[in-house]
Structure 1
Amino acid sequence: MAPEMALDIARLRTHFPSLSSGIAHFDSAGGTQTPGVVGRAVAATLTGPLSNRGTNLLPERNAEQAVAGFRSAFADFLNADPRGVVYGRSATQLGYDFSRHLGRDWGPGDEIVVTRLDHDANIRPWVQAAARQGATVRWIGVDPDTAGLCMDQVADAVGPATRLVAVTAASNLLGTRPDIPAIARLAHAAGALLYVDGVHYAAHAAVDIRALGADFFVCSPYKFFGPHCAVLAAEPDLLGSIRPDKLLPSTDAVPERFEFGTLPYELLAGATAAVDFIASLGGTGGRRERLAGAFAAIEAREAGLLARVEEFLAGLDAATVHSRSAARTATLLASFRGHEAAQVSRFLAGRDVQAPAGSFYAVEASRRLGLGDAGGLRIGPAPYTSDEDVQRLLDGLAEYFS
């Protein structure tokens, strides 16, 4: 679908029951609102008939279909092999699981590379696993002037001893989008694996994990209209080389060997419905082609909304915008001279404008920017954000600083 396709915002908003509250939502980086079709998919699956997976009766087949549909949907969403799509409760849980799975083979002399741009869910599990095994952690910094990853440090940090590089595809705090293919080339040249946190990225751009060069890619459907869960994608052969701890009678098949306990079939169905909802915004063609069209339209819409906010803040003497990277999502972090970001956020909330303040678990980046653990005010429009929502945000900021 051609990138110039535009979203019908009025029609899009009718799919989101929660928008009737009158709240102007600018917290898409923390999680989007949910369309009715997703809620209905969750309810229809949960109320059955439903049982454990099997092929004999309808309840068993419904469970099988929920799993198969989920793997197929996220194979299209990520350009992955459906046999390599793993369900997880959260990106944090998947990070800890795979740090344990992979870390058991590390030891003294091995090196793990993390960045100060990342959400802590893609830092601390690796740092802690390295400490348990006696491996060394190497850090890649953030340039506070550009809010970008210090790419000159990547080549210095990655070398023959590197076992894994963990990096975000887009900062949940700043929106910064590092050059993942370039990092992948350096990691793979050193014989290392690349673990990419795509939680923020996947809500704003069409994902192609093969083009990115990610060995592991994680995203969370609740960031793009789905229920609260997470997805990890990797090549089946790579997953087959990893031996997790598991219950004796549970299957050893990939990817099921990484999914502990009975799966929440209703959440899988809801996540699948979220992918299909996004695809429905992208015109004609196969699901992956429609997803590409939808994200082209989403990126254009969100960029236009954010430009209005940036223009306003540029004229506000007290404001400092920290989201400065040339390559970033429609996410903006600002601080205000003489005013706590949390105080600004509370003022806006009193006018039914949701723009939260904090470091949002990206504490390393927040500290590097000089914002400490308090962070700043994060503004993140979503595809359903209206022009009126943006005006209410700007009017609220103007009133606060008048």
Structure 2
Amino acid sequence: MKTTETIFPIEQVRQQFPALQRTYKGKNAAYFDGPGGSQVIQSAIQAIASYMERGGANLHGAYPSSWETEQIIADAKSAVSDFLNVQENEVAFGANMTTLTIAIANALGKQFEPGDEIVVTEMDHRANVDPWIMMAEDRGLTIRWIPVNTDTLTLELKDLDQLINEKTKLVAVGLASNAIGTIVDIEPIVKRAKEVGALVAADAVHAAPHIPIDRDKQGIDILLCSAYKFFGPHVGIATIKEEVFKNLNPYKLTTAPSYYPDKLETGTQNHEGIAGIQPAIEFFESFGEGDTRRQRILTGIEQIEAYENQLAKRLREGLAAIDKVKLYEAGPDVPKTPTIAFQVTGYTPEEVCKIMAEQHGIFVAFGHFYASTLADRLDVTKNGAWVRAGLAPYNTLEEVERFIRAAEEL
């Protein structure tokens, strides 16, 4: 499925997502809730069903269904390897990104001493904040915050040299805001962290469906994302640099493997979910060109990104033209994911979402989306935080125009 900057095979794309056939109160459902979890591609659904129909099994058995399960996991890790540009033995799966981050934080905490420091940001989803704070409290560490600039809706980096210092052991930062869409300029943060010998833990959950990621090129030591944000099942993905992974000592059962990456994968994994990861990544690849899967994934993501940004531009312009709509977004010079946060004067965000669904068949979410510190800094929590509209490659221009008309009617 090849495409160009001007031609996007939207009908072919939509045919691959069964959920798009849904209607609600006589209208075709329009899904604008992708940042909270995308719809699942048919090939991933088929892979999940096929695994369960053929007979699942646990690992290390002497029979076919066990061998097949091990091969499915290996294939999924190979696909993730090309998706994020990491080694296959650096990939671990878990229940979700939050659970994996808590486990990693507790394991890393064993290497830190009272007085050491951890740096988090005011823009991040709490899943890349609270695991580190809880570990720091248990270990007697100090937490420092990179603040958000409430005018520019970007991170304020002017005091970076003081925030990240010789006592800093780890810096946790998100690649993109799941609430307002700001793509974070992590280069100066990573540069400063490396100057003082600190690890960098990056949350790519929101970024992974929208922008190309290269963990090692970006200088990241620990990178996490979730397949259910990029058209797959609910499976968390952690990729940890080998030199960090080999020294990690996570909490686990005595009889569980002590080698990586298995030592982080506690208990029986979600094998049927893991079966859906490779097809989800192959969706990106299907748009791309190149001699390797990595090249095809990268060029595929670029094509999808161009299409999504085209839709997002129209939606932002349409909403900005409505007097009672207030957008929360960084300036035009700041790159953003196709995620748009706003409020409508005279309505709570929940009321907006209910009207959108009941009268227009538009599914859109409200709340702080676990970016609660950012919501507090922007003083929106008292009003129910935001309405958040997120675009995916299965959305259409017609749906965007429908969304704008619905907002105008409010």
Counterparts of 2:292 and 2:241, CA distance in 1: 22
> 2:171 and 2:378 mapped to 1: Cα distance?
23
User: Do the aligned residues in 1 keep the contact of 2:202 with 2:222 (CA within 8 Å)?
Assistant: yes
Shift in alpha-carbon separation, 1:312–1:97, aligned structure 2, 3 A? same
Report whether the alignment pairs 1:245 with 2:256: no
- Asked if residue 19 in structure 1 is aligned to residue 25 in structure 2, the reply is no
- The partner residue of 1:263 within 269, 272, 278 is 269
Task: Check conservation: 2:3, 2:9, Cα contact below 8 A.
Answer: no
The verdict on how the C-alpha distance between 1:7 and 1:284 changes in structure 2, with shifts beyond 3 A counting, is farther
CA deviations on 1:361-380 (whole Å, 9 max, x unpaired) are: 10000111111262111111
The match for 1:281 among 276, 284, 287 is: 287
- Between the aligned partners of 1:5 and 1:276, the Cα distance in structure 2 is 22
- Choose from 107, 125, 132 the match for 2:131: 125
What is the correspondence of 1:96-135 to structure 2 with a 5 Å cutoff? 96-135=102-141
- Specify the alignment match of 1:363 in structure 2: 372
SS of the residue 1:29 aligns to:
helix
Which of 364, 379, 387 aligns to 1:377? It is 387
TM-score for both structures, normalised by structure 1: 0.96
Instruction: Check 1:268–1:5 CA distance in 2 against 1; reply closer, same or farther (3 A cut).
Output: farther
Q: For residues 111 and 43 of structure 2, what CA distance do their matches in structure 1 show?
A: 44
What per-residue deviation string (whole Å, max 9, x for no partner) do you get for residues 45-66 of structure 1?
1222332223742112101101
Q: Residue 406 of structure 2 is aligned with which of 387, 396, 399?
A: 396
Query: Out of 342, 345, 352, which is 1:334 matched to?
Result: 342
SS of aligned partner of 2:119? strand
Question: More displaced, 381-390 or 331-340?
Answer: 331-340
Q: 1 CA distance for matches of 2:4 and 2:149?
A: 32
Q: How big is the shift at 1:257? A: 0.7
Residues 49 and 58 in structure 1, CA contact (< 8 A), matched pair in contact too: no
RMSD: 1.5
The percent identity for this pair of structures is: 34
Structure 1 residue aligned with 2:361, among 347, 352, 363?
352
* Structure 1 alignment gaps of length 5 or more: none
1:80 aligned to which of 59, 78, 86: 86
Secondary structure of the residue aligned to 1:195 is strand
Partner Cα distance (2:162, 2:336) in 1:
24
Name the TM-score, length of structure 2 as normaliser: 0.94
CA distance in 1, matches of 2:163, 2:6: 42
Within 5 Å, give how 1:60-209 maps onto structure 2. 60-209=66-215
Matched position secondary structure for 1:266: helix
Aligned residues: 400
Find the aligned partners of 2:353 and 2:306 in 1 and give their Cα distance: 26
CA deviations on 1:301-331 (whole Å, 9 max, x unpaired) are 1111111111112211112111114121111
Give 1:18's aligned amino acid: A
Name the CA distance, whole Å, in 2 between partners of 1:59 and 1:342.
47
SS at match of 1:146: coil
SS at match of 1:219: strand
Q: Does 1:223 align with 2:229?
A: yes
CA distance in 1, matches of 2:16, 2:42: 6
Is the contact between residue 319 and residue 336 of structure 1 (CA under 8 Å) also seen in structure 2?
A: yes
Matches within 5 A, 1:30-41: 30-41=36-47
Unaligned runs of 5+ in 2: 23-27
Of residues 35, 46, 50, the one that matches 2:52 is 46
For the residue of structure 2 that corresponds to 1:260, the secondary structure is: coil
The one-letter code matched in structure 2 to 1:355 is V
Structure 1 contact 26–354 (Cα < 8 Å) conserved: yes
The equivalent position to 2:397 in structure 1, one of 382, 387, 391, is 387
What residue in structure 2 maps to residue 299 of structure 1?
Answer: 305
Alignment partner, residue 343 of structure 1: 351
Secondary structure of 1:263's counterpart equals coil
Give the counterpart letter for 2:357 in structure 1. Answer: A
Q: Which residue of 1 aligns with 2:25?
A: none
Higher mean C-alpha displacement, 370-379 vs 214-223: 370-379
